[in-house]
Amino acid sequence: MYHSVGGGFYDDVSPGRFRRQLEQLTRKYDVVDLPAVLEETADTRVALTFDDGTVDFYETVRPMLQEFDVPATVFVVADSIGNAEFLQDEWFDYEYMTEAQLVDLADDELVTIGNHSKSHRKLDTLSAGELETEIAESKLELEERLGIDVDRFCYPQGEYSATAVDLVRDTHRFAVAGLNEIRVGPESDPCLLPRINGAGEPKQLRWEFTDCSAFLAGTMFDLQNGHR
């Protein structure tokens, strides 16, 4: 999971550091499109996801994806498109991709555009009607504006309720959740896929890629979500 690469926004990673991570990931793992991490395979797979849809994805990340020939999913907030006044929080002066840039990305075989809600509100606090707007209506808006099918969702700030997950499951095929250093595979819930934060410290990232870390995180994830 990434947010900003050289853009100066939340969880910003320098372009140089991101390049080094791509070099390491492509050397050690198969970097694949998001749905492929759910397949059973002998090789370890990694999928890249980017939240918020800030302009650095278009200007900095996309050229590196093309250079390394790896796919990625970028999750876009519908209200950010063409709205210079939109703010998802008060801490950063975000600059989002324009509609023209998103339309261009829609034709890129390495990039998949996903839904990051209508306005980036925390979904665990919203009513059923508000969830419909944030999840289902934003999906339709992205599809109509960009001329694409949207089947991937990202829970803003990693927060969700059972009602939110049910609606996401009814309207999307895949969804990524909060931070859990956990292996995914055929047994994983495709609408609650956990992620590792690419902006984490190098030592922490090395730990999160270990089997021991995955086991501990998986146990906690199951307990938190009532699976055990």
Whole-prediction pTM: 0.90
Q: What percentage of the chain's residues is helix, strand, coil (to nearest 5)?
A: 45, 15, 40
What are the extents of the domains in the chain?
15-224
Structure confidence by residue, pLDDT tens digits, 41-55:
988 899 999 999 999
Q: Is the dihedral of CA 2, 5, 9, 13 positive or negative?
A: positive
pLDDT of residue 202: 62
Report helix, strand or coil for 120: coil
pLDDT of 115 higher than 90? yes
Q: Measured between alpha carbons, how far is 137 from 119 in angstroms, rounded to an integer? A: 11
Structure confidence by residue, pLDDT tens digits, 132-153:
999 999 999 999 999 999 999 9
pLDDT of 98 higher than 90? yes
pLDDT of residue 228: 41
pLDDT of 226 higher than 70? no
The H or E element that residue 115 is part of is: strand 111-115
For domain 15-224, the CATH class is alpha beta
Residue whose entry in the numeric block shows the structure tokens 């307990």:
223
Q: 179 falls in which pLDDT band (50, 70, 90)?
A: confident
Joined tokens for residue 66: 């093309």
The H or E element that residue 112 is part of is: strand 111-115
Report helix, strand or coil for 212: helix
Residue whose entry in the numeric block shows the structure tokens 């998802």:
88
pLDDT of 207 higher than 60? no
Q: 205 falls in which pLDDT band (50, 70, 90)?
A: low
Q: 90 falls in which pLDDT band (50, 70, 90)?
A: confident
For residues 98 and 194, which has the higher predicted lDDT (pLDDT)? 98
Residue whose entry in the numeric block shows the structure tokens 């495709």:
190
Beta bridge partners of 69: none
Helix axes 138-146, 99-106, angle to 10 degrees: 80
Contact between 81 and 94 under an 8 Å Cβ cutoff? The reply is no
